[in-house]
Chain A
Amino acid sequence: ETGVTQTPRHLVMGMTNKKSLKCEQHLGHNAMYWYKQSAKKPLELMFVYNFKEQTENNSVPSRFSPECPNSSHLFLHLHTLQPEDSALYLCASSQDRLGTGRRTEAFFGQGTRLTVV
């Protein structure tokens, strides 16, 4: 148990559906991330939030829409996805303010396996 919880664990959706992925962390961290993990490809960083503010958007298509209402919760809203969006979506959190001796690694949830049909 890493302190980062993702729901649902599995999701199958049609291309016209709208769904949301949820991530919650109980570690008191103030940075949260969405990663996409596809077969035989490196983890792709999608979004980064620091103190609830989005600081990174790595050219992610607009059909993915993140939301971070507070430092403990992160959502990924999905709409009109494509079959190539099928992947494992991982949420992670970490502590900001590097260089202070605080832990610098990211803690990951177990991921949501998304299948777009």
Chain B
Amino acid sequence: AQTVTQSQPEMSVQEAETVTLSCTYDTSESDYYLFWYKQPPSRQMILVIRQEAYKQQNATENRFSVNFQKAAKSFSLKISDSQLGDAAMYFCAYREYNNNDMRFGAGTRLTVKP
């Protein structure tokens, strides 16, 4: 089974600063999708950004961007200009190209300091 590892249980960032959350994964597949989800205290899991493995270009969504290193099986999330509303649990997730089975990491709790 594919595994997703988030080695940072907790991270903290100053408001307006930049923070990077790490994620590595293990797979023997060449085609797959990677995601970052945000789970605020409301418990709603919200998609932040996604990356298709066949694309070399790193995905970007406003203040959120990823550093996708396919050979290293690394998929980090960078949050620029951090805002108080960014405080949440962040989960990295993996999904095979033709499989609905989505696997999640253990999560990183991000605190944003004013």
Q: Which residues of A contact B (CB under 8 A)?
A: 2, 31, 33, 35, 40-43, 45, 48, 50, 55-56, 88, 90, 92, 94, 96, 98-99, 104-111, 113
Cβ A94 vs Cβ B43 within 8 A: no
CB closest residue in chain B, given A113: B43
- For B92, give the chain A residue with the smallest CB separation: A42
Distance in angstroms between the alpha carbons of A88 and B42 in the assembled complex: 12
Q: Tell me the complex Cα distance, A57–B3, Å.
A: 17
Known: A40-B106, A88-B43. A48 touches B101 (CB 8 A): yes
Complex Cα spacing A30 to B100, Å: 11
Q: Which single residue of chain B is at the shortest CB-CB distance from A94?
A: B100
**B56 is an interface residue with CB less than 8 A from chain A:** no
Whether B44 and A108, one on each chain, are in contact in the complex, defined by CB atoms closer than 8 angstroms, is yes
With an 8 Å Cβ cutoff, the count of chain B residues facing the other chain is 25
Contact B95 A104 (CB under 8 A): yes
Instruction: Write the residues of chain B forming the contact surface with A, with a CB cutoff of 8 angstroms.
Output: 4, 31, 33, 35, 37, 42-47, 50, 91, 95, 97-107
- Our pick among B46, B97, B100, B103 for the contact of A55 (Cβ within 8 Å) is B100
Given contacts A40-B106, A42-B4, A105-B35, contact A33 B43 (CB under 8 A): no
CB contact between B102 and one of A50, A106, A109, A113 (< 8 Å): that residue: A106
